[in-house]
Structure 1
Amino acid sequence: MLSWKRLVRPLTALLLTAAVAAVPATAAHASSTTSTGWNDYTCKPSAAHPHPVVLVHGTFANATDNWLALAPYLENRGYCVFSLDYGQLPGVPAFHGLGPIDRSAAQLQTFVAKVLAATGAAKADLVGHSQGGMMPRYYLKFLGGAAEVNTFVGIAPDNHGTTLDGLTQLLPYFPGAEDLISAATPGLADQISGSAFLTKLNAGGDTVPGVHYTVIATKYDEVVTPYSSQFLSGSDVHNVLLQNLCPLDLSEHVLIGLTDRIVFHEVANALDPAHATATTCASALS
């Protein structure tokens, strides 16, 4: 008789494939321990941009590949830019963000403290993509991050989990599937809608006082579904649908964080609202 475990494995593989379908091929061989031009601990924030920017990658990504476009974009605008690897699993190089998310948040806490000590800044700004746009909320809410962060920008974040276009709703029909995913990739299991992690994260409200939140989503997101679940509720939240800025923009879950210069312009606006300019389709040329 065919065992449940043999039936579960294809479903697990399907979930993993859906989550990483568009991950750039360079991630498989790029070094994730060093960055290209940023992570300069001698950088001192300017009066114009007093907060160092910490970039937080997504699931199956790393500190380098996720930010090959956005990091230089921000550096060229005068920011001190840093990025970290988190959520590593033993024996899995380059593809990170797979460990338990509460532990990943503790890694972020340590990294931000290191950046603040090196730069002398009082607070940092955070910009994250996908899981990296959600995980820092645990740091802000439970690990004292609200005292260390000024602005948090989430690009395509799974703030309330994802159904992966309904695929996760099949899990109850495969006994043992959720346990298998939790054991192999706990960071992925934590992101499924209704998980214990997300229930704890969102209990009592989405935000914490003192932090400015911006969420940028695309209606073509095929990984964090429904896309509206990405938006936050709170008194200091700016929720943005990319297609309201530029109806012609077809970026989906990966490209919105990796290469979309319209999104980059909106990120720059969030980091420096005093000098914000309108974000339109033409912003792709700026």
Structure 2
Amino acid sequence: MRKSFVTVTLAALALVSQVAISPSAAADPLPVPHNFFDGIGLEVADPGGSIPGSNDWTCKPTATHPEPVVLVHGTGANRQTNWATYVPLLENEGYCVFAPTYGTRPGSTWPMSAFGALLPLQQSAEQLADFVDEVLAATGARKVNIVGHSQGTLMPNYYVKFLGGASKVDKYVSLAPLWGGAGAFWAGEITAFVKQNGLGPLQEQTFGTLCASCLDMAPGSDFVEKMNEGELYAPGVAYTNIATRYDELVVPYTSGLVPGPNTTNIVVQDQCPQDYSEHAGLAASPVAAAHVLNALDPEHPRPVPCTVIAPFTGSPVG
């Protein structure tokens, strides 16, 4: 009887031990929506909040992923509207995930405060520098990895090149990179006309009051020219540029694929012609997401899926 009791007890303890350490006993993974516009619903449900899985200031990086990931949104977006896909995706992979909202107009209240990345890019880069310092202090990490979309591919490089960020950034992953500027809507031609006719102050006092960053991102702007002087890329930082042929804002899309040392350029349609994601949809496409995961963890590459991806939403079809 005693032997049977001991046996049952040991078996029960073993079972409890297995449950305690089994991955299946861990928290359920967060759902990963592949629809760029799902972020709008998150912002409406929690104005000014953070997507669950991000901005946990108690998060400590693991040995597997020792560097936190900082997500840098695009023009008019914020830390929720831009990152419905990437926050849960990276959280499920075991990264500490952080996302600022930057570049909002001073004194604005919601809903206007939900529209970020509108200030001059240098000012936004200074805000990013402060945010990265907060992330490093909270996590104890030495460096962060940056994943940016649209404006979030260009602005952080000012921080990296001119504000000391090169020593604090390891990997720099860009979705829809615009190293040559956003050339849609004749932005480059307008910039050239403004410069030739001395209309810069007038432009800044009119359109610039609404979107100063838009002026900075135009091809040929002083900001873009400054960023491309000498070497575009900062030494010691690993860059990955992920572009789509259907980008309607970065025109031509190839302007974001600048070759350089320690730099990988990817066009999603080269691997998956059925991916029809354009500028916005690229930030939700599972094809692009696999490339991002591989860029962040190149020592453990995973297969990149290929399926039909809808434009604008970035959602798989069928």
Q: Residues 73 and 201 of structure 1: is their aligned pair in 2 closer, same or farther, counting only changes over 3 Å?
A: same
Partner of 2:29: none
Hey, what's the Cα distance between the residues in 2 that align with 1:105 and 1:97? 10
Query: Does residue 68 of the first structure (1) align with residue 91 of the second (2)?
Result: no
The equivalent position to 2:139 in structure 1, one of 92, 116, 119, is: 119
> Is it true that 1:225 corresponds to 2:251 in the alignment?
yes
Amino acid at match of 1:49: H
Please list, as runs of the form range in 1=range in 2, the aligned pairs for 1:4-153 lying within 5 A after superposition.
Answer: 26=41, 29=44, 31-90=47-106, 91=108, 92-153=112-173
Residue 191 of structure 1 corresponds to 217
| TM-aligned CA deviation for residue 93 of structure 1 | 1.7
Aligned counterparts of 2:132 and 2:40: Cα–Cα separation in 1: 29
Residues 1:282 and 1:255: Cα distance change in structure 2 (over 3 Å): closer
1:233, distance to aligned residue in structure 2 (A)? 2.6
Aligned-residue offset at 1:31: 2.1
**Inter-partner Cα distance in structure 2 for 1:23 and 1:161:** 27
Contact conserved, 1:165 with 1:226, CA < 8 A, in 2?
no
Shift of 1:183: 3.2
Does the aligned pair in 1 maintain the 2:204–2:212 contact within 8 Å? no
Q: Please tell me whether the aligned partners of residues 99 and 185 of structure 1 are also in contact (alpha carbons under 8 angstroms).
A: yes
* 1:201 correspondence with 2:221: no
Q: Identify if the C-alpha distance between structure 1 residues 23 and 77 changes in structure 2 by more than 3 Å, giving closer, same or farther.
A: closer
Give CA-to-partner distance per residue, 1:67-88, whole Å, 9 cap, x none: 1111100110111101001111
User: Is 1:243 matched up with 2:269?
Assistant: yes
Change (3 A) 1:24 1:268: closer
Matched residues in 1 for 2:130 and 2:234: separation? Answer: 20
TM-score when scaled to structure 1? 0.85
1:23, distance to aligned residue in structure 2 (A): 10
Question: Is 2:256 the partner of 1:270?
Answer: no
TM-score (norm 2): 0.77
State the Cα distance separating 1:32 from its structure 2 match. Answer: 3.1
TM-fit CA distance, 1:64: 1.0
Contact 1:36 1:64 (8 Å CA) reproduced: no
User: Structure 1, unaligned stretches of length 5 or more?
Assistant: 1-21
Equivalent in 245, 269, 278 of residue 252 of structure 1: 278
CA contact (8 A) 1:31 1:64 kept: no
Q: Does the 8 A contact of 2:187 with 2:219 survive in 1?
A: no
Does the CA-based 8 Å contact 2:242-2:288 persist in structure 1? yes
Q: Which moved more, 1:22-31 or 1:48-57?
A: 22-31
1 CA distance for matches of 2:155 and 2:86? Answer: 19
User: SS at 2:218's partner residue?
Assistant: coil
Q: CA deviation at 1:279?
A: 2.0
CA distance in 2, matches of 1:96, 1:84: 10
1:113 aligns to what SS in structure 2? helix
How far 1:206 moved relative to its partner? 1.0
Q: Deviations over 1:138-182 (max 9, x none)?
A: 011001111001000010021110221535524638964565222
Deviation at residue 184 of structure 1 after TM alignment? 2.8
Structure 1 residues 28 and 278 mapped into 2: Cα distance closer, same or farther (>3 Å)? closer
